[in-house]
């Protein structure tokens, strides 16, 4: 794998003198913390992206491959096969580490889903059996000598059932974050993180539909974003080349990234905040939003709890939906908290407890302005909140 933390100086040269970015690629061989984990995670995400790209090209339009999950979100063969790939790699590389994944394999075990199961098994095997590239190791279950049985792959999917918690080392997996974006050919993300004692220490996000460089729309698409605690953040192409340190881009407009789904966020409230701060809204599915922020394409990622109806409890956010994105933003120099300015909780279990809503910004000063603008927008929306608590 060709990976490299390019220096700011070199990146500036790339942009000012048009030095091809591939010349910046070199081996990341230094004995840094979580170096093995980083390479394992990149291999897992890269191969899971092979699955999702194949599924999109071959199967997405064929709706018979789409199941409905209990929570009514679409789950595709790609979701299952991508999680099978990631968990197989993690299980082989780190057999003791708990995994918290979004999908379970119960639906795949049903007799009526034989065709779907066979497709999952075939897709996962194809991705795992591809030739090794630099930085990958056969003992992670990779390469043509490993044939993974149907039962082994279903078991791997089910390995993601850990309950999480505060004092442990654990992985989070979201095989296709932004399933709706995936199905409509938009942004989606293959997401993996490592959490140690409630702190995210590594995040890897594969975004097959993100442009490699925002200023070159004709260039091929597909990036993997990587961040390690204390070591910065960078992106590589889906083939693991052309590493670029983040942030590397400065958007002329100040965008506020937000969910496309009105059920996932409070769009009118975000509009108030955007208007006050003269930000332009930019709707996007998945943790690709965090990636665009980390690159410098947007100034803010804002997610506000969608209004609840009646006595319904607010949605509890999931750690796999924010752990990788949060470290990416922080390691690119930004700041992230919940919508009240409180730190994110990754040690409470699979959910994030009282972290309702998120504010991620490119810098601290903007973060403070967004948090106070949110308070004003909430008061404007619901003046009862002005009542002092007795």
Q: Is 185 in the site for ligand AMP (CB under 6 A)?
A: no
Q: Is 79 in the site for ligand AMP (CB under 6 A)?
A: no
Q: Is 266 in the site for ligand AMP (CB under 6 A)?
A: no
Q: Is 321 in the site for Mg ion (CB under 5 A)?
A: yes
Secondary structure class of 363 (helix, strand, coil): coil
Q: Is 322 in the site for ligand AMP (CB under 6 A)?
A: no
Give the gyration radius of the chain's Cα atoms: 20
208 contacts 221 by C-beta, under 8 angstroms? yes
Instruction: Work out which of 28, 192, 194, 306 binds ligand AMP, going by CB under 6 A.
Output: 306
Instruction: Work out which of 148, 264, 295, 367 binds ligand AMP, going by CB under 6 A.
Output: 264
Q: Measured on CA atoms in the order 116, 182, 200, 240, is the torsion positive or negative?
A: positive
Q: Is 315 in the site for ligand AMP (CB under 6 A)?
A: yes
Q: Is 205 in the site for ligand AMP (CB under 6 A)?
A: no
97 contacts 171 by C-beta, under 8 angstroms? yes
Task: Choose the contact partner of 259 out of ligand AMP, Mg ion, none; CB within 5 to 8 A by kind.
Answer: ligand AMP
Q: Measured on CA atoms in the order 48, 79, 180, 371, is the torsion positive or negative?
A: negative
Instruction: Work out which of 65, 79, 136, 177 binds ligand AMP, going by CB under 6 A.
Output: 177
- Asked if residue 71 belongs to a known ligand binding site, the reply is no
Active-site residue, 162 included: no
Whole-angstrom distance, CA of residue 42 vs CA of residue 39 = 5
Q: Which listed range, 146-154, 166-174, 264-272, 364-372, lies at the site for Mg ion (CB under 5 A)?
A: 166-174
Which of 201, 146, 276 has the alpha carbon at shortest distance from 35?
A: 201
Active-site residue, 179 included: yes
Q: Which listed range, 3-11, 52-60, 112-120, 255-263, lies at the site for ligand AMP (CB under 6 A)?
A: 255-263
Q: How far is the CB of 287 from ligand AMP (least distance, A)?
A: 7
Per-residue b or e along 329-356, where b marks 16 or more CB atoms closer than 10 Å to that residue's CB: bbbbebbbbbbeeeebbbbbbbebeebb
290 contacts 301 by C-beta, under 8 angstroms? yes
Site string for Mg ion, 101-120 (x = CB under 5 A): --------------------
- Asked if residue 321 belongs to a known ligand binding site, the reply is yes
* Helical (H) or strand (E) element with 259: none
Whole-angstrom distance, CA of residue 379 vs CA of residue 384 = 7
Which residues are annotated as catalytic?
79, 179
Interface ranges with Mg ion (CB under 5 A): 174, 177, 321
Residue ranges for the known binding site for Mg(2+) are 102, 174, 176-177, 321
């Amino acid at each position: 794998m060709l990976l490299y933390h390019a220096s700011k100086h070199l990146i500036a040269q790339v942009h000012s003198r048009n030095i091809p970015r591939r010349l910046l690629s070199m081996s990341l061989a230094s004995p840094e913390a979580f170096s093995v984990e980083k390479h394992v995670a990149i291999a897992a995400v890269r191969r899971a992206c092979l699955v999702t790209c194949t599924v999109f090209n071959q199967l997405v339009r064929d709706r018979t491959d789409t199941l409905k999950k209990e929570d009514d979100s679409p789950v595709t063969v790609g979701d299952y096969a991508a999680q099978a790939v990631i968990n197989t790699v993690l299980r082989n590389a780190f057999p003791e580490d708990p995994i918290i994944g979004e999908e379970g394999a119960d639906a795949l075990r049903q007799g009526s889903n034989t065709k779907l199961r066979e497709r999952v098994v075939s897709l996962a095997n194809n991705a795992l059996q591809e030739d090794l590239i630099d930085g990958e190791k056969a003992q992670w279950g990779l390469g043509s000598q490993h044939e993974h049985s149907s039962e082994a792959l279903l078991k791997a999917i089910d390995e993601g059932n850990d309950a999480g918690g505060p004092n442990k080392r654990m992985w989070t997996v979201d095989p296709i974050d932004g399933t709706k974006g995936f199905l409509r050919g938009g942004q989606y993300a293959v997401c993996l993180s490592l959490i140690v004692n409630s702190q995210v220490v590594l995040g890897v996000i594969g975004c097959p539909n993100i442009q490699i460089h925002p200023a070159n729309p004709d260039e091929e698409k597909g990036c993997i974003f990587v961040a390690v605690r204390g070591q910065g953040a960078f992106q590589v192409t889906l083939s693991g080349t052309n590493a670029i340190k983040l942030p590397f881009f400065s958007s002329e407009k100040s965008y506020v990234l937000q969910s496309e789904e009105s059920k996932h966020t409070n769009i009118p409230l975000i509009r108030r905040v955007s208007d006050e701060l003269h930000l332009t809204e930019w709707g996007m599915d998945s943790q690709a939003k965090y990636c665009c922020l980390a690159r410098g394409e947007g100034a803010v990622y804002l997610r506000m709890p969608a209004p609840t109806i009646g006595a319904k409890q607010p949605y509890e956010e999931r750690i796999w939906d924010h752990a990788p994105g949060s470290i990416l933003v922080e390691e690119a120099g930004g700041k992230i908290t919940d919508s009240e300015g409180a730190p994110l909780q990754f040690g409470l279990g699979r959910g994030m407890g009282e972290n309702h809503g998120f504010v991620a910004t490119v810098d601290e000063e903007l973060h403070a302005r967004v948090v106070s603008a949110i308070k004003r927008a909430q008061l404007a929306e619901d003046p009862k909140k002005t009542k002092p608590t007795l």
